[in-house]
């Protein structure tokens, strides 16, 4: 009996196969973003503090009860001939009633996700551009970007044709209104 092996038929399939077989060191994140494998080191304490500041307000003020994940990877469409994007947001929020994370493996579709959060790190361009486009192509309604280098917070909304059509940016210290299903003003005074 001859063993049958699967050979990738396209470069995109080959790249996806390599990506999915990666064994990254503990704490590191490997993502496949717009046809490029990106490995990032563990975040610093300030990075985690910003996530916690947003998370605390979402849990305490959101009109809809939210479920949070800081480790769940999202599979979403790519642009062109690249394999599907595999992105791990710093935070993913979905209405708790949907229980999106239950029964899912390491990677899940982005259907039902209400908002993703990214806090810039050593490579801020990824959060500002490539990840923004990934989330828009996935149809995620809201993308919240905490830009530490610019000392600002930006809410991207209304995804269409691979990007967000609307965005509003405020400096740290100014409140930013999160629309439904959150429906509250995010206080950023502690971001200073």
The tens digit of pLDDT for each residue in 39-80 reads 888 999 999 999 999 999 999 999 999 999 998 999 988 877
CATH class of the domain comprising 43-191: alpha beta
Query: What is the β-pairing status of strands 176-178 and 184-186?
Result: antiparallel
Q: Confidence band (pLDDT; 50, 70, 90) for 7?
A: low
Q: Tell me how far CA of residue 60 lies from CA of 55, 86, 101, 137, 182, in angstroms.
A: 8, 30, 21, 30, 10
Question: Dmax over Cα atoms in the chain, in whole Å?
Answer: 69
Measured between alpha carbons, how far is 62 from 180 in angstroms, rounded to an integer?
A: 9
pLDDT of residue 8: 57
Retrieve residue 101's tokens.
């994370």
pLDDT of residue 4: 41
pLDDT of residue 188: 98
Say if residues 184 and 176 touch (Cβ distance below 8 Å): no
User: Mean of the per-residue pLDDT values for the chain?
Assistant: 91
pLDDT of residue 44: 92
Say if residues 110 and 142 touch (Cβ distance below 8 Å): no
User: What pLDDT, in 10s, does the model give residues 144-167?
Assistant: 999 999 999 999 999 999 999 999
**SS3 category, 176:** strand
State pTM to two decimals.
0.90
Q: Confidence band (pLDDT; 50, 70, 90) for 1?
A: very low
Considering only residues 20 and 54, tell me which one the structure prediction assigns the higher pLDDT: 54
Question: 10 Å Cβ neighbour count for 27?
Answer: 9
């Amino acid at each position: 009996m001859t063993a049958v092996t699967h050979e990738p038929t396209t470069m995109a399939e080959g790249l996806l196969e390599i990506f999915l077989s990666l064994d990254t060191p503990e704490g590191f994140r490997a993502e496949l973003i717009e046809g490029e494998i990106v490995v990032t080191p563990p975040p610093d304490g300030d990075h985690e503090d910003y996530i916690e500041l947003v998370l605390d307000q979402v849990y305490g003020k959101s009109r809809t009860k939210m479920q949070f994940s800081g480790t769940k990877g999202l599979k979403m469409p790519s642009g062109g001939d690249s394999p599907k994007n595999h992105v791990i947001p710093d935070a993913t929020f979905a209405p708790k009633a949907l229980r999106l994370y239950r029964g899912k493996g390491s990677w899940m579709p982005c259907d039902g996700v209400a908002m993703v959060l990214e806090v810039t790190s050593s490579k801020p361009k990824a959060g500002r551009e490539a990840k923004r486009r990934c989330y828009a192509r996935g149809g995620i309604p809201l993308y919240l970007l905490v830009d530490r280098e610019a000392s600002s917070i930006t809410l991207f909304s209304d995804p269409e044709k691979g990007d967000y059509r609307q965005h509003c940016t405020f400096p740290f210290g100014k409140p930013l209104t999160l629309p439904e299903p959150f429906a509250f003003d995010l206080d950023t005074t502690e971001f200073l």
